[in-house]
Amino acid sequence: SPSGVDAATVTMTCSADATTPTYVWKKESTAIWGATAAEYAYTVDITEGDASGNVRFTCEATTVASQLMGSATVGFLIKPQQPTITATGLPITTPGDTGTLTCTTASTSSSKTYKWFENGTAVSGHSGSELVRTYGSSGEYTCKAIINTVESTASAVTTVATQADDLEPKNEVLKIVMYVVGGVVAVCFLTVLIAVGCI
């Protein structure tokens, strides 16, 4: 399957043009003990796709006289294991600083790549395990591991929120107080930037 297998069980059926043939199922060229029926149900072990991303089965059919009639091989791709995201440098509170998101999967294939998503949209040009975000960046991020074009299930969401707007200084007048000093009205105000000022 191009989309990769992550079901609990895959059932395969072998047939031969003969009377009561005998079957032998093999996995990666090794005979499977007890697998001698026309149908074989494979319980998917997602870790088996870690190195190559695929698994192959062969069915051999023989006659009653033990003559090999032929064999057929079927292979399918297994999804990489679901990755997780770890974050460093968050929250990003200072202009010029960065934070790093790292996508990690237990799948061991050396050819694996990654796909990053920001608010559900693929991040263009990023296929590595790390994604760097800068001050002012915000959004929800997920990633997928890819082996042999097969994508894993997406990771859990990691939220990046620098809240840059909240960190910007605000010159808002919070309080105005009027005093009468020697017949002169003094207007004093308190701001975020200036503790107290009077005019």
How many CB atoms are closer than 10 A to CB 14?
20
| Helices assigned H by DSSP within the chain | 164-167
Binned at pLDDT 50, 70 and 90, residue 38 comes out as very high
pLDDT tens for 109-119 read 878 899 999 99
Taking the model in full, what pTM does it have? 0.61
**Close Cβ partners of 182 (under 8 Å, ≥ 6 residues apart):** none
Categorise residue 28: left if φ over 0, alpha if ψ from -120 to 50, beta otherwise.
left
Q: What mean pLDDT do residues 62-77 have?
A: 80
Label the pairing between strands 39-43 and 9-13: antiparallel
The reported pLDDT for the residue numbered 40 is 92
Q: Looking at the predicted structure, is the pLDDT value of residue 7 above 80?
A: no
pLDDT for residue 129: 96
DSSP assignment of 100-141 equals EEEEE-S---TT-EEEEEETTEE-TT--SSEEEEETT-EEEE
Q: Examine the pLDDT at 138 and tell me if it is beyond 50.
A: yes
Residue position matching structure tokens 């297998």: 5
